[in-house]
Chains A and B, each alone.
Chain A
Amino acid sequence: MRRLAPAVTLAAGLGGCAGVQSALDPAGPGAARIGELAAFFTVVTLAASAVVIALVLYAVARARRRAHPETLPLRDDAFILLGGFAGPAVILISFQVLSALTSAEVSRPPAEPALTVEVTGHQFWWEVRYPAFGITTANEIHIPAGVPVEVRVTASDVIHSFWVPRLHGKIDMTPGKTAVWWVQADAPGRFRGQCAEFCGLQHSLMAFWVFAEPPDAFEAWVAARRRGRPAGDDPRVERGRTVFFEAGCAHCHAVRGVNEPRFTGAVGPDLTHLASRRTLAAATVDNNRATLTAFILEPHALKPGVRMPPTRLDSARLDALVAFLESLR
């Protein structure tokens, strides 16, 4: 039904055994510790339930063939308390201890985080800021691999939830409140995240990517983001810059050096480096000319309920606007 190529060219080829968004395929210490806990829980509880179900079926099979009631080998209450209280209690106490230890361990990063990222949830996209570098971007989080990164989350409108299953569990993003969380990727890679708290019409397609990079690549990325819009002399781009204002884009989207810092509102994602982003519309489609053009004209065809209104443009002005946006590397 979606007439556009889904954002899965990114997903393809990075496969893994379970998928780009799978808690079953941990890629960081948070998800790994929780995965170990889950594996222990699963093995023990499945064994325990197999025993209980087998006992029930065995009792049923025996009781069917019998003509007269029997007594148990021990008193009823002793049998019930042994099987229904003492046995499970031993298992549950071990669960509680392990759960408390693991929860304490993963609630804090393994080392002092070197970097803080602020992520704000909006209907239906992610604002990403690096306060140490003065960088603002959207729907993509770049982190250095191998080190813990502090993530401070909040929301501007309704409750969202920040979840990158391969890296760590989730944390709610509540308006009026900042919660502190962390992620760490053991090795370079791309990890898909998604909003986990129902937040409205496009909760389903409110996703993002985390790119973990080697330290030098990450520093290069930061350096490139700190540069403003590259200077150019393409007249089409200059026309597009005008269209960006005339068509109303500049009311909601900031492009540093164009309408920012005069305009700093974050109604929509910051577009300063739009062309370098891999996906559009909160990781819904790949970022290319076709998807960009389609999204500008009819955002609701791609994501019904998205906050961005449709834009009416003749083809010359549309070409210019797209050329301008594509120049934002």
Chain B
Amino acid sequence: VTPVPPDPHVHETLTRLWSRPPGLWGWLSAVNHRAIGIRYVVTAFVFMLLAGVLALVMRLQLARPDLGVVGPAAFNQVFTLHGTTMMFLFAVPMLEGIGIYLVPLMIGTRDMAFPRLNAFGYWVYLFAGLALWGSFFAGSAPDAGWFNYPPFAGPAYSPGPNIDFYVTMITFIEVAALVAAVELIVTVFKQRAPGMSLGRMPIFVWAQLVMSFMIVFAMPPLMLVSVELMLDRVIGAHFFNPAAGGNPILWQHLFWIFGHPDVYIILIPALGIVSMIVPTAARVPLAGYVLVAMSIVAIGFLSFGLWVHHMYATGLALMGLNFFAAVGMVVTLPSAVQIFAWLATIWRGTLRITTAFLYVLGFLVLLVLGGITGVMLSSPAFDWQAHDSYFVVAHFHYILVGGAVLPIFAALYFWFPKMTGRLLSERLGRWNFWLTFIGVHVTFFPLHFVGLRGMVRRVYTYLPGLGFDTMNLVATIGAFLMGAGVLLLAVNIVWSLRRGEVAGPNPWGASTLEWAAASPPDQYNFAAIPTVRSRDPLWEQEHLGLVDGGPGSSYLTLDPESPRREVVVTTVLDAAPDHIAMLPGPTTWPLWAAIGAATAFLGSMVHLLLVPVGALIFLVSVIGWLWPKDDSPP
């Protein structure tokens, strides 16, 4: 089908209805999912660039033995902030942001279920990120590694404010992650276009759904454990103090019950991205749709049984370790199933190689290589040698760069035209891809061997003559290649925003609903809500019902007397139309609520009185936020 623009009068009314007020105040009051999604993506991208610069600083320091680019105290902050930023401020928010932007478009609705909550989540994320980086520029960033083990991170051995920033920010930022997850779950379950049963959802939406559920279950243990450490630090509790009967191993269990699923929280939406790009490039429907969806759900469950992988060397009983090892082997299978589903899709298709698809190919190579070292590391015996060495650093960078960064770049190339109306330059894209892809290997491949030769993680320097020198130098060169690749992507984005080729609604000939909306989408996404009868509606349906009164059917009509922000609510399994819901409009109250929450959280480090002050601002803001407007339905 080719999308048909709506009647100009309808377009005008709907645009007015769904727009935010103009000016800075209007910008601050935006609650629309596309605005919030793009803010997440842009902010996360900036944090990725910043954390990338930290990586280059580390690689410079480690290029030769015994260098003095940065001292040990600064180095510890640099690697801690690199990991913390990449995990908490880049990967998860970036993938949630892409989801917040795309999911409503893919399922054919006009906005997410709780638009104001969405805005609140973004502001919380932004403030947490700014505070964390503020601590770095103030010279007291967290410095105990991203997993922050006590007792080293406890009050006795890290008395400064550094770790206070860590525990406060981690707890705070999880609020944003949880808000986005709840929002995505409700939207996916209740706002799919009529006819889009669970079995017709795009795989990316499946992935976002599973990711969101994982966030809901994985983040609370982390919040719990960081609050426990906060209590140890602030009021002298002894959760992790062995001298007073506490147990440092408790932190490791609770942290990794969050931390291992977190890797899959990042990987799963990336797998979803790949499952959208591969069928589009091959121009055939995804092979094994049900197997792929089931695999994603299976990974979601299995990933909660892997946390002891990070604790094999703590001296736990071997019998227990073997169970976790077995789960580690099993969790490989659903990933392998997906790889073969993509392979089957490509095998059948007629392929057009775009930069997005090149990134997918790069992702496949890295995922396979990172996956096999992952299988090796899930063996206790092998892990006893490789644990906490550079082998592990090499492994998880293959998984995270391969499994998350490359698919995120692929997603940028693929959906940039939808977000901006213009295509990214494919020519720059090739350079951008090859530099990044080669850079990743040159950086991380040698580090496997450095690790097995005995180089441990988190060292600011190493002595000459231990067999580490040459390969560290190679890794540093690779890091700069990678940096150049990422820089080219930034250049491409800036250039294409102004000069890029105009895309049109469906530049790749893709099959899912977001490509039926304009590029960039109108304020209201869809003038009429489409009816879905297929997994690939744009390929297989003659009519989508995108125009009011046209063939197909539409469930939303415009009341010219009192237009409201309406969405269709459908049933969870079959997406049968159920009722019409009214969504709230733009407001700055979520911003004020986030300011209140930030005052309470951040203020707790400065003066405890700021906690009630922040709570009061929060309370007033929430009242304002929920205050009924005159035109709201009774």
B interface residue count range (under 10 / 10 to 19 / 20 to 34 / 35 or more): 35 or more
Interface status of B545 (Cβ within 8 A of chain A): no
User: What does the 1/0 interface line of A1-32 toward B look like (CB < 8 Å)?
Assistant: 11000111001100000111111100000010
User: What does the 1/0 interface line of B223-254 toward A look like (CB < 8 Å)?
Assistant: 00000000000000000001100011100000
Chain A residue at minimal CB-CB distance from B349? A63
Contact, CB under 8 Å: B364 / A85: no
B314 to chain A: which residues have CB within 8 Å?
172, 174, 179
Contact, CB under 8 Å: B349 / A69: yes
Contact of A197 among B329, B388, B462 (CB under 8 A): B388
Contact of B282 among A63, A83, A96, A176 (CB under 8 A): A63
Contact, CB under 8 Å: B381 / A103: yes
Chain B residue at minimal CB-CB distance from A77? B288
Chain B residue at minimal CB-CB distance from A66? B350
B243 to chain A: which residues have CB within 8 Å?
175-176
Determine, out of A139-147, A201-209, A309-317, the stretch whose residues face the partner at the interface.
A201-209
**Given contacts A41-B382, A103-B318, A69 and B350 within 8 Å (CB-CB):** yes
Contact, CB under 8 Å: A11 / B465: yes
Contact, CB under 8 Å: A84 / B313: no
Query: Least Cβ distance of A97 to chain B in Å?
Result: 10
Contact of B67 among A1, A171, A174, A196 (CB under 8 A): A1
Q: Bound complex: CA of A158 vs CA of B464, how far in Å?
A: 27
Contact, CB under 8 Å: A171 / B66: no
A8 to chain B: which residues have CB within 8 Å?
463-466
Contact, CB under 8 Å: A177 / B315: yes
Interface status of A132 (Cβ within 8 A of chain B): no
Q: Bound complex: CA of A84 vs CA of B346, how far in Å?
A: 15
Query: Least Cβ distance of A79 to chain B in Å?
Result: 5
Interface status of B336 (Cβ within 8 A of chain A): yes
Contact, CB under 8 Å: A203 / B458: yes
Contact, CB under 8 Å: B368 / A52: yes
Determine, out of A161-169, A223-231, A236-244, the stretch whose residues face the partner at the interface.
A161-169
Chain B residue at minimal CB-CB distance from A89? B333
Chain A residue at minimal CB-CB distance from B463? A6
A2 to chain B: which residues have CB within 8 Å?
66
Contact, CB under 8 Å: B315 / A19: no
Query: Least Cβ distance of B436 to chain A in Å?
Result: 18
Of residues 276 through 316 on chain B, the ones whose CB sits less than 8 Å from some CB of chain A are 282-284, 287-288, 290-291, 313-315
Interface status of B389 (Cβ within 8 A of chain A): yes
Of residues 442 through 469 on chain B, the ones whose CB sits less than 8 Å from some CB of chain A are 449, 452-468
B456 to chain A: which residues have CB within 8 Å?
163, 194-196, 203
B615 to chain A: which residues have CB within 8 Å?
none
Query: Least Cβ distance of B513 to chain A in Å?
Result: 22
Contact, CB under 8 Å: A204 / B332: no
Contact of A172 among B315, B389, B453, B464 (CB under 8 A): B315
Contact, CB under 8 Å: A81 / B337: yes
A interface residue count range (under 10 / 10 to 19 / 20 to 34 / 35 or more): 35 or more
Chain A CB within 10 Å — which of B156, B315, B385, B468 has the most?
A: B385
Contact, CB under 8 Å: A18 / B381: no
Contact of B315 among A165, A174, A201 (CB under 8 A): A174
Chain A residue at minimal CB-CB distance from B292? A80
Q: Bound complex: CA of A49 vs CA of B247, how far in Å?
A: 41
A159 to chain B: which residues have CB within 8 Å?
149, 151-152, 248
Chain B residue at minimal CB-CB distance from A79? B344
Q: Bound complex: CA of A172 vs CA of B378, how far in Å?
A: 17
Of residues 20 through 54 on chain A, the ones whose CB sits less than 8 Å from some CB of chain B are 20-24, 31, 33-34, 37-38, 41-42, 45-46, 48-49, 52-53
B322 to chain A: which residues have CB within 8 Å?
99-100, 103
Interface status of B502 (Cβ within 8 A of chain A): no
Interface status of B509 (Cβ within 8 A of chain A): no
Interface status of A253 (Cβ within 8 A of chain B): no
Q: Bound complex: CA of A63 vs CA of B376, how far in Å?
A: 33
Q: Bound complex: CA of A192 vs CA of B466, how far in Å?
A: 9
Contact, CB under 8 Å: A99 / B382: yes
A288 to chain B: which residues have CB within 8 Å?
none
A60 to chain B: which residues have CB within 8 Å?
346, 351, 353, 361
How many inter-chain contacts with C-beta < 8 Å in the A-B complex? 296
Interface status of A187 (Cβ within 8 A of chain B): no
Contact, CB under 8 Å: A106 / B454: no
Of residues 357 through 393 on chain B, the ones whose CB sits less than 8 Å from some CB of chain A are 361, 364-365, 368-369, 371-372, 375-376, 378-389
A95 to chain B: which residues have CB within 8 Å?
329, 375, 379
Q: Bound complex: CA of A194 vs CA of B351, how far in Å?
A: 51
Contact, CB under 8 Å: A76 / B288: yes
Interface status of B46 (Cβ within 8 A of chain A): no
Contact, CB under 8 Å: B157 / A200: yes
Interface status of B338 (Cβ within 8 A of chain A): yes
Interface status of A262 (Cβ within 8 A of chain B): no
Query: Least Cβ distance of B68 to chain A in Å?
Result: 4
Interface status of B582 (Cβ within 8 A of chain A): no
Contact of A63 among B67, B149, B351, B449 (CB under 8 A): B351
Query: Least Cβ distance of B358 to chain A in Å?
Result: 10
Interface status of A215 (Cβ within 8 A of chain B): no
Contact of B313 among A20, A37, A42, A161 (CB under 8 A): A161
Interface status of B144 (Cβ within 8 A of chain A): yes
Chain A residue at minimal CB-CB distance from B75? A204
Interface status of B205 (Cβ within 8 A of chain A): no
Contact, CB under 8 Å: B381 / A34: yes
Contact of A38 among B382, B388, B466 (CB under 8 A): B382
Query: Least Cβ distance of B574 to chain A in Å?
Result: 24
Query: Least Cβ distance of B252 to chain A in Å?
Result: 9
**Given contacts A60-B346, A92-B333, A21 and B313 within 8 Å (CB-CB):** no
Contact, CB under 8 Å: B463 / A284: yes
Contact of A59 among B346, B383, B464 (CB under 8 A): B346
User: What does the 1/0 interface line of B55-73 toward A look like (CB < 8 Å)?
Assistant: 0000000000111100111
Interface status of A259 (Cβ within 8 A of chain B): no
Contact, CB under 8 Å: A55 / B454: no
Q: Bound complex: CA of A207 vs CA of B461, how far in Å?
A: 13
Contact, CB under 8 Å: A106 / B452: no
Contact, CB under 8 Å: B349 / A46: no
A114 to chain B: which residues have CB within 8 Å?
none
Q: Bound complex: CA of A62 vs CA of B349, how far in Å?
A: 9
Q: Bound complex: CA of A102 vs CA of B322, how far in Å?
A: 11
Contact, CB under 8 Å: A165 / B385: yes
Interface status of A186 (Cβ within 8 A of chain B): no
Interface status of B434 (Cβ within 8 A of chain A): no
Q: Bound complex: CA of A34 vs CA of B343, how far in Å?
A: 34
Query: Least Cβ distance of B609 to chain A in Å?
Result: 33
**Given contacts A34-B385, A197-B149, A204-B462, A172 and B313 within 8 Å (CB-CB):** yes
Contact of A99 among B149, B347, B372, B381 (CB under 8 A): B381
Contact, CB under 8 Å: B387 / A103: no
User: What does the 1/0 interface line of A71-83 toward B look like (CB < 8 Å)?
Assistant: 1100011011101
Interface status of A304 (Cβ within 8 A of chain B): yes
Interface status of A70 (Cβ within 8 A of chain B): yes
A72 to chain B: which residues have CB within 8 Å?
287, 344, 347-348
Contact, CB under 8 Å: B73 / A305: yes
Query: Least Cβ distance of B93 to chain A in Å?
Result: 26
Contact, CB under 8 Å: B384 / A202: no
Interface status of B325 (Cβ within 8 A of chain A): yes
**Given contacts A56-B343, A172-B314, A201-B72, A68 and B350 within 8 Å (CB-CB):** yes
Query: Least Cβ distance of B362 to chain A in Å?
Result: 11
Contact of A88 among B66, B291, B321, B333 (CB under 8 A): B333
A105 to chain B: which residues have CB within 8 Å?
381
Contact, CB under 8 Å: A168 / B384: yes
Contact, CB under 8 Å: A171 / B361: no
User: What does the 1/0 interface line of A111-124 toward B look like (CB < 8 Å)?
Assistant: 00000000000010
Those 9 A-B pairs whose CB atoms lie nearest each other, nearest first: A169-B384, A176-B242, A19-B467, A21-B454, A84-B340, A99-B379, A45-B372, A179-B315, A63-B351
A-B contact pairs, 21 of them (CB 8 A): A6-B463, A21-B454, A22-B454, A34-B381, A38-B452, A41-B372, A41-B376, A49-B372, A64-B353, A72-B347, A72-B348, A84-B336, A103-B322, A107-B380, A158-B151, A163-B456, A174-B248, A175-B243, A176-B243, A196-B388, A204-B461
